């Protein structure tokens, strides 16, 4: 990972920014379907990520919902952080990338 960006601690994430996060999947919620504007439905699933500084909700959409399991160590590169009900939440957004990594976050 020579071109990887430095990770931002979860406790320092703020809404309306892109961020790189190295974390562990602490828990996963059940996949659910929500209505889309075009009348179809989209799959969505929340994961709870943690690092040494804190925890954040990671929202997985459509084909992303089965990409992680509890206990996986992941790197989110250029994830989009938004505010949801007063708390930061991260998703891959338009340009983010999810990678499973062999080692837990430092």
* Residue 4 included in any domain: no
Distance CA 49, CA 74 (A): 9
Q: Is 93 left (phi over 0), alpha (psi -120 to 50) or beta?
A: left
In a domain, 106, yes or no: no
Q: Is residue 25 part of a domain?
A: yes
Give the per-residue pLDDT at 106. Answer: 62
Residue 1 lies inside a defined structural domain of this protein = no
User: What's residue 1's pLDDT?
Assistant: 41
19 vs 63: CA distance, rounded Å: 21
Domain of 46, in residue numbers = 10-100
Which residue, 46, 66, 52, is CA-closest to 22? 52
Specify if 24 maps to a domain.
Answer: yes
Q: Which residues contact 69 (CB under 8 A, 6 or more apart)?
A: 25, 28
Within-domain flag for 18: yes
pTM of the model: 0.89
- Write the CATH number for 15: 2.40.50.140
Separation of alpha carbons 8 and 22, rounded Å: 8
In a domain, 92, yes or no: yes
pLDDT for 42: 93
* pLDDT tens by residue, 32-78: 999 989 999 999 999 999 999 999 999 999 999 999 999 999 999 99
- The number of folded domains in the chain is 1
């Amino acid at each position: 990972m020579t071109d990887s960006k430095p990770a931002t601690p979860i406790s320092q994430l703020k809404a309306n920014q892109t961020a790189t996060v190295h974390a562990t999947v602490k828990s996963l919620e059940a996949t659910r379907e929500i209505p889309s504007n075009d009348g179809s439905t989209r799959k969505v699933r929340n994961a709870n990520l943690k690092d040494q500084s804190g925890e954040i909700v990671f929202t997985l959409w459509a084909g992303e919902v089965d990409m992680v399991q509890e206990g996986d160590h992941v790197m989110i590169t250029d994830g989009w952080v938004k505010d949801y009900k007063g708390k930061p939440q991260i998703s891959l957004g338009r340009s983010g990338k999810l990678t499973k990594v062999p080692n837990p976050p430092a």
